[in-house]
Structure 1
Amino acid sequence: MSQSGTLILIMAVAVIAPLLAYGLGRWIPVPLVIFEIVLGIVIGPDVLGVAHHDATINVLSDLGLSMLIFLAGYEIEFATVRGDTLRRSVWAWLAALVLGLGIAFALNGGAVTKSFVIGTALTSTALGTVLPILRDSGDLKGRFGTVMMAFGAVGEFGPIIAMTLLLGGSDPGRSTALLAAFAAVTAGAVFWALRPRPPWFANVIAKTLHSSAQFAVRFVMLLLAAMLGLSYAFGLDTLLGAFAAGLLTRLVLQGAAPESSELVLGKIEAMGFGFLVPVFFIVTGIDFDLNALLHGGRALILLPAFLLLFLVVRGLPVYALAPHDLGRRDRTALMLYNSTALPLVVAITTIGLDEGALTAGEAAALVGAGMVSVLVFPLLALRLRAGSGSEVNPPTRPMHRTESW
């Protein structure tokens, strides 16, 4: 199929996926990402063989991943993610990294790059995928939501840092120096973002929100492009720049135009979840090596093994270090939510495949385990939260904004 034909097919899948999610949601809530990836597999080379992407669609897919990480960075609220909860979340992720690397090295006979790839993937949390589930259930607000945001944010940001240091393809010392330089520049940008904006800035945002100028949207895209370019110039993973851009955007918009920030975010989400993010997940399905998974006995065994390791490596440290004021059921729900992984697993396994560290079967097993985690773990967590007697607040945003996740 031609490039334009494949793109049309991808967008058709992007339209069908929410319809299926909505229809099935009457009986069991299934995250939209599952339908996007599964339908991508169906139209991909291992099933129907009608979709074959090229460099242009690859670029759109990369932009979709960057937008997903950008929006996850935007969700971080500095006022709540701090103090003892933040310290616990950092220690939980560091414990997961040590545990994940240790298990990976033991299982792979000391193969360095493969162990780094697998160990880092096991520490990730799909915060961007879990957030809409939490928002719809009302769990994003209150004490549980605050703790989840802290642990989830570190679970998303930590692996990006680890990817930069361990999988960046350069000397770790040089990578650390470049990361420190990037952090210094980002800190300067945060300082700039926290400074009061002149009155004309908010006025221009308000006056162009419903015009063709769309100043705020263009400004946000400039921030994203600048941070992506900065991370690339420093030789770091561009996902780091995307996450930093999300943090900066929240600071700028809420400081300069708080009354317009929600509307601006809605426009960015429409761009991301209406086009770019679905392309990323559908292309992930197209690239998924189903044959390697189904026809390799080892890969089929690895899938449930990786799923269990998500719980052991990422989940157990979260459960152990969760704040003591959370009950047992809430701690278990927190463990399940944080063990949910997919977007970064896809990114990390892609690096592993590019460097020849992973076989196609191993990559398929990791991604497949991530897909199962997205499907199973949040549903179990929802049931635990529903039976915990915890106070549940109603969602504070319209339902149509969360369905796009």
Structure 2
Amino acid sequence: MSHPGTLVLILAAAVLAPLLVHATGRRVRVPLVIFEIALGIVMGPDVLGWARPDDVVDTLADLGLSMLIFLAGYEIDFAAVRGDTLRRSLWSWPIALVAGIALALLVSRGDVFGAFVIGTALTSTTLGTVLPMLRDSGELRGRFGTVISAFGAVGEFGPVIAVALLLSGRRPAESAALLAAFGAITAAAVFWALRPRPPWFARLTERTLHTSGQFAVRFVMLLLACMLGLAEVFGLDVLLGAFAAGVLTRLVLLRAAPASSGEVLGKVEAMGFGFLVPLFYVVTGIEFDLDALLHDPGALLLVPGFLLLFLLVHGGPVYLLAPRDLDRRDRAALALFTSTCLPLVVAITTIGVDQELIATDQAASLVGAAMVSVLVFPLVAARVRGTGRTAPATDGAEESEESEESEESEAW
């Protein structure tokens, strides 16, 4: 099919997906991304054969992935994830990565690079699915929401770093040196972002917010393009640049135009979630190897296997290293929430298939398991917590967190 026809079908699927969410919402809460990928599968070559992506559609899908990771970076509030909670989350992810790679060696039959792809995918988290649920229940800014933000942030940032180090096609030492150089430039950019912005920045942002000028939105897009280009120059994966751009954008907007930052982000989100991100997910469905999954009993059996590994590899260390003031129910819910994954699994498996590090049936099994995790784990976590009430922290725990944050603030 010609490119215009394919693009029309993809956008039609993007419009149909939220309608399906609304229609099924009274009986069961199905995440929007599930419908987007499912509609792509239906119109793809393995079912109806209506749509086959071309170069233009693939380029737009790549932009959608970059926008998705950019927004994930923006979501992370580093001011809320300090102290003992942050240290625990930083320890949990490397443990999960080692366990994931070790178990993935069995699945990949000793293929080291294939094990890196699978093991890294097993450690990812999707804050974009989890945080809205906590926000709707009013728990996002409570103790449990803060812990979720800490462990989820590391679960998003860690895999992006691992992809840059392990899947760049270079030797690990060379990749580490380039990553360090990229990190140094990014740190300098963070220092620049934390400096007070001149008054004209906020005035121009507010003045053009509802005009064709859209200064702040254009500035955000420039920042994203610069970080993507910087990652490309260093030979790192563009996901790292997109993530860094999201972090920088949050710092700049909150410092330079705090009154307008929410509305500016709303416009960027409209661009991302209204066009680019759903296009990425629908194209992911179109390129999903359903035939390999359904006609290979081994690949089909891997779906529940990978689902269990998501919970064991990532959820296990999170449960063990969760802050001590959380009771067993909250720790179990934390493990389930942080084991929920999909966007980064799609991104990592896409890179793995493109570099011929994993087979398409393995990628299909991983993505299929990730889709089930989005459907099942948050619902089970909500039931485990019962009424959704967070166990109150003890006074000592609260004072410890506050004292640690004050010490770190003084250090800065």
- TM-score norm. by structure 1 comes to 0.95
> What is residue 3 of structure 2 aligned with on the other side?
3
Q: Specify the SS of the correspondent of 1:118.
A: helix
Q: Specify the SS of the correspondent of 1:236.
A: coil
CA distance in 2, matches of 1:89, 1:343: 20
Show the 5 A alignment for 1:201-350: 201-350=201-350
User: 1:68–1:128: 8 Å Cα contact kept in structure 2?
Assistant: no
Q: Specify the SS of the correspondent of 1:278.
A: helix
Q: How many angstroms does 1:388 deviate by?
A: 4.9
CA distance in 2, matches of 1:200, 1:14: 38
Does 2:371 match 1:371? yes
After TM superposition, the structure 1 stretch with the greater mean CA deviation from structure 2, 311-320 or 324-333, is 324-333
CA distance in 2, matches of 1:97, 1:365: 19
CA distance in 2, matches of 1:176, 1:19: 45
Aligned length: 392
> What is residue 402 of structure 2 aligned with on the other side?
none
Q: Specify the SS of the correspondent of 2:51.
A: coil
User: 1:123–1:314: 8 Å Cα contact kept in structure 2?
Assistant: yes
- TM-score norm. by structure 2 comes to 0.93
> What is residue 33 of structure 2 aligned with on the other side?
33
CA distance in 2, matches of 1:378, 1:349: 23
CA distance in 2, matches of 1:137, 1:283: 32
CA distance in 2, matches of 1:371, 1:137: 23
CA distance in 2, matches of 1:91, 1:357: 28
Q: How many angstroms does 1:355 deviate by?
A: 2.3
Q: How many angstroms does 1:353 deviate by?
A: 1.3
Q: Specify the SS of the correspondent of 2:78.
A: coil
Q: Specify the SS of the correspondent of 1:213.
A: coil
Show the 5 A alignment for 1:35-114: 35-114=35-114
**Paired residue type of 1:375:** L
> What is residue 395 of structure 1 aligned with on the other side?
none
User: 2:143–2:390: 8 Å Cα contact kept in structure 1?
Assistant: no
After TM superposition, the structure 1 stretch with the greater mean CA deviation from structure 2, 265-274 or 70-79, is 70-79
| Superimposed CA distance per residue, residues 109-154 of structure 1 (whole angstroms, 9 cap, x where no aligned partner) | 4211111111111111112232222222323121111111110011
User: 2:41–2:285: 8 Å Cα contact kept in structure 1?
Assistant: yes
> What is residue 180 of structure 1 aligned with on the other side?
180
User: 2:330–2:391: 8 Å Cα contact kept in structure 1?
Assistant: no
| Superimposed CA distance per residue, residues 143-188 of structure 1 (whole angstroms, 9 cap, x where no aligned partner) | 1111111100110110011111111111111100000000000000
| Superimposed CA distance per residue, residues 4-61 of structure 1 (whole angstroms, 9 cap, x where no aligned partner) | 1111111111111001101111111111000000011001011111011111111111
Q: Specify the SS of the correspondent of 1:258.
A: coil
| Superimposed CA distance per residue, residues 304-351 of structure 1 (whole angstroms, 9 cap, x where no aligned partner) | 100000000011001111101111111111111111111111111112
CA distance in 1, matches of 2:212, 2:154: 37
CA distance in 2, matches of 1:45, 1:129: 28
| Superimposed CA distance per residue, residues 254-297 of structure 1 (whole angstroms, 9 cap, x where no aligned partner) | 00110000010110111100000000110010010111000001
> What is residue 22 of structure 2 aligned with on the other side?
22
> What is residue 360 of structure 2 aligned with on the other side?
360
RMSD, aligned α-carbons: 1.3
> What is residue 149 of structure 2 aligned with on the other side?
149
Structure 1 stretches of 5 or more lacking a match?
Answer: 393-405
CA distance in 2, matches of 1:202, 1:388: 39
> What is residue 407 of structure 2 aligned with on the other side?
none
**Paired residue type of 2:350:** T
CA distance in 2, matches of 1:391, 1:65: 36
Q: How many angstroms does 1:391 deviate by?
A: 7.9
User: 1:160–1:240: 8 Å Cα contact kept in structure 2?
Assistant: yes
Q: Percent identity, aligned pairs only?
A: 69
**Paired residue type of 2:42:** V
User: 1:69–1:128: 8 Å Cα contact kept in structure 2?
Assistant: no
**Paired residue type of 1:257:** A
CA distance in 1, matches of 2:343, 2:2: 27
Q: Specify the SS of the correspondent of 1:79.
A: helix
| Superimposed CA distance per residue, residues 62-112 of structure 1 (whole angstroms, 9 cap, x where no aligned partner) | 111111111111111121111111111110101100111111124434211
Q: Specify the SS of the correspondent of 2:260.
A: helix
Does 2:380 match 1:380? yes
User: 1:21–1:32: 8 Å Cα contact kept in structure 2?
Assistant: yes
**Paired residue type of 1:260:** S
CA distance in 1, matches of 2:260, 2:107: 51
